[in-house]
Structure 1
Amino acid sequence: MKSVRIFTLKSILISGAIALGTVTASGQMAPFGEKNDVAYSKLLWAAMEKLNLAGPDAINSFPYEGTEPHGFVLETFYTKTTINGHTGELVIKRNYGPKGVEVEAVQADRKKHLGAITVMFKREAGFDSDNQNWFWAKYLPDGSLDKNPKGMMLAGKVAKGADKGCIACHTSAPGGNYIFTK
C-alpha cells in the first residue's frame, strides 16, 4: 500500500510540474511584438503614408490639448483603410510634447514636437475577439515601432491581459467601442 501512495504522490507531483511548466511557458508568450505583428505594422504604416496620414507628406489638422499617456497636444484622424483585403476602421493619434508644450508651438513646428504616433486598426473577425479585434501600434516619428521597457515592439495586442496599457485603458471608453473621441 505504501508503494501505491508514493507512486500516486509522484504522479501528482510530476503532473503538477508539467502543468506548471505549460502555464509558465504560455504565460511568457508575448501577445504582441512578434514577427507577424511587426510585419503587419509595416503594412499599416505604408497604408497610412498612402493616405497622407503618416510620413513626410502627412496632412495636418488642428491640434488640441491632450492628456497622458498620449501627448500633451494631439491630432486625431478617423478613416478606413484596407490591408491584405480587409477594410477596417483606422484611428491615428499624433502625440506631441514635451509636457507644457502649447498648441501654438506644435502648429509652428510639428516635427520638433512629435513624440509618437499611436494607432488603432480594426482587423478581421477572430484577430482578438476579446477586444473587438483592434490592432494597436505605437510608432516613432520615423515610422519605426516604439518598444516597451522590456524591449518588446509595441504592435499587435499590446498589453493584452495587463492591468495597464492600451487595451486596459480603452476598455473603459464610453460607448463600448474602445474609442474615447470622435
Structure 2
Amino acid sequence: MPSAPSSSSPVLVLATLNPHKGRELLALLGAVPFQIKLLSEFPGARLPDETGQTYAENALVKARTAFSLTAALALGDDSGLEVDALGGAPGLHTARFGGPALSDRERWDLLLERLRDVPPARRTARFRCVIALAGPARGEQVVEGVVEGLIAEAPRGSGGFGYDPVFFYPPLGRTFGEISDEEKRRVSHRGKALDAARRLLSE
C-alpha cells in the first residue's frame, strides 16, 4: 500500500495504472515528505495514449493528467529500451513492441529474433527513464536516468518485469531478471531517475 508519513503531509500522486510499475515506483522513491497515492485510487482515473515524440513529452502528459484529475502534485514517468543494432528501437514503442497484444515473453522472443545474427559486442543497449513532476506552486520539472548494458542471447532469470530477463548488466555479470530488487534499485534507470526526483521533492 502507498505510504503516508502524516495525514497533514501533502499528497504526491504516482501517475500510473500499471500495478508492477506502481510497486516499483513506490519502492524506489523511498522516504519523501508526502503521502503517496496511486492514480488508480481516484475516481475516473485514466491516462492518455502515449503519443509524445520524446520520453519527456510522455512523462509530462501523464503528470499533467494526474494533476488535473487530483489537484495534487503528480509524478509521471516514461521509459524505454534502446538497442543500438536496431537504430535505437524499440525506444518510445518499448511497451508496444510487436503490437499491443503481445506478452512480455513474446516481446523478448521478437527482440532476440531481430538480433539473432548480431554478435555479442554489437548488442549494446540502454534503458532510459524520464520522470516528470507537475503540480501547484512547483510547476513542471523533468529528470532522467540511464543504465547501459547488452541484450543477452537468451532470457535469464525470473525477476523484475518487462525486458529485464534479456537486459544484461556487465558490472554485475547478470541480467536484470537475475539480480535482487535491492541491486536493481541501486543501478536501474528508474532508480537513478527517482533518486533525482527524490532530491527535488525533498527541497
Scaled by the length of structure 1, the TM-score of the pair is 0.31
After TM superposition, the score normalised by the length of structure 2 is: 0.29
Tell me which structure has the larger Cα radius of gyration.
Answer: 1
